[in-house]
Amino acid sequence: MVASTDILRKADKEGYAVPAFNYSDIWDLQAIVEAAEEEKAVIMLSANPLVMEAFGPKMNAAIGQVVMEEAKIPVLQHLDHSFTEELCLEAIDCGFRSVMMDASKYPLEENITMVKHVVDYAHARGIIVEAELGKIRGKGIEGDFKEGEDFLVDPMECRELVERSGADSLAVGIGNAHGFYKGKPDLNFKRLKEVNDIVDVPLVLHGGTGIPAQDIRRAIEGGINKVNVGTIIHSTYMNAMRAELDSLPENPYTLDVIKPVKEKIKAVVKEWIHVCMCNNRA
């Protein structure tokens, strides 16, 4: 099993990004891992709080454990956007190898304190911790992109948070948003550079869905080493499922539906793997 501490450091050294794919169940999780194996890619499997609630931390971790042990590629299971320290600690106890303590809605001091608590617990167990600063818009399925600088990350705050909390990576708000973008995504590469110039850890780009490939590449050149991809996985899954169900007679067998659906998810995952340049890195 790949050491948690190595996965993003290697990406940083070699100039690519590890895509962290959000899964919803065993079928899209399997599609993601199969696609990554076929591309000899390095990836992360992200469980968001909804999935944690749906399956519970133990079942999520148990599935992740089998995948991390048996996959032919380096893969880490990651807890995405935990808003509490308790969930991070519980996920670590269950076997997650990477967690995100998202305290970005709190003032800087509180953010630092919460991240540091999780870091102290995680590092003693060889687990890595992601923190967040700046406002990443649109937590729902519809992204909410707005012009202006009020939501951009402050580089000095980034340095302070990383130095004082010991976080291993930092998610930055640079104009990115979760969900489908309503307008054209307009990442602020100048701000990304300002952060990367003074912060020593790999940076993370959330809201991958909808950002053009050339912008993802430019962000990777600018210091991004982890790209989160969720919405396009979920929508591909559901739309493919609808199409399959519509094309089959009444009472179809589950796997007859799932197999072609998985192929469609795999195609999307492979595209992202190439955009992130993490293929042939295993």
Active site residues: 80
Under the criterion CB under 6 A, does residue 134 sit at the interface with ligand 13P? no
Nearer to ligand 13P, 173 or 207 (CB): 207
Angle CA(274)–CA(214)–CA(147) in degrees, nearest 5? 130
| Shortest Å, Cβ 144 to ligand 13P | 11
| Shortest Å, Cβ 51 to ligand 13P | 11
Distance in angstroms (rounded) separating the CA atoms of residues 200 and 195? 9
Q: Give me the count of residues in the chain.
A: 282
Sign for the pseudo-dihedral over CA of 267, 75, 64, 60: negative
Residue nearest to ligand 13P (CB): 230
Select the residue interacting with ligand 13P from 12, 39, 80, 194 (CB under 6 A).
80
Distance in angstroms (rounded) separating the CA atoms of residues 38 and 85? 36
Q: Which one-letter amino acid corresponds to residue 82?
A: S
Sign for the pseudo-dihedral over CA of 113, 198, 81, 20: negative
Under the criterion CB under 6 A, does residue 173 sit at the interface with ligand 13P? no
Q: Which stretch binds ligand 13P (CB under 6 A): 33-41, 227-235, 246-254, 261-269?
A: 227-235
- Residues 6 or more apart from 260 whose CB is under 8 A from it? 240, 244
Under the criterion CB under 6 A, does residue 178 sit at the interface with ligand 13P? yes
| Shortest Å, Cβ 177 to ligand 13P | 7
| Shortest Å, Cβ 197 to ligand 13P | 24
Under the criterion CB under 6 A, does residue 275 sit at the interface with ligand 13P? no
**Between residue 187 and residue 226, which ones bind ligand 13P under the rule CB under 6 A?**
206-209
Angle CA(174)–CA(175)–CA(179) in degrees, nearest 5? 120
Distance in angstroms (rounded) separating the CA atoms of residues 149 and 140? 21
Under the criterion CB under 6 A, does residue 179 sit at the interface with ligand 13P? yes
Nearer to ligand 13P, 55 or 180 (CB): 180
Nearer to ligand 13P, 90 or 102 (CB): 102
Please, what is the end-to-end C-alpha distance for the chain in angstroms?
A: 12
Under the criterion CB under 6 A, does residue 22 sit at the interface with ligand 13P? yes
| Shortest Å, Cβ 250 to ligand 13P | 34
Under the criterion CB under 6 A, does residue 81 sit at the interface with ligand 13P? yes
Select the residue interacting with ligand 13P from 228, 240, 273, 278 (CB under 6 A).
228
Under the criterion CB under 6 A, does residue 64 sit at the interface with ligand 13P? no
| Shortest Å, Cβ 225 to ligand 13P | 15
109: exposed, middle or buried (Cβ count in 10 Å: 0-12, 13-18, 19+): exposed
Distance in angstroms (rounded) separating the CA atoms of residues 52 and 63? 12
Distance in angstroms (rounded) separating the CA atoms of residues 204 and 177? 13
Nearer to ligand 13P, 81 or 262 (CB): 81
Contact 165, 142 (CB under 8 A): no
Binding site for ligand 13P (CB under 6 A): 22, 80-81, 178-179, 206-209, 228-232
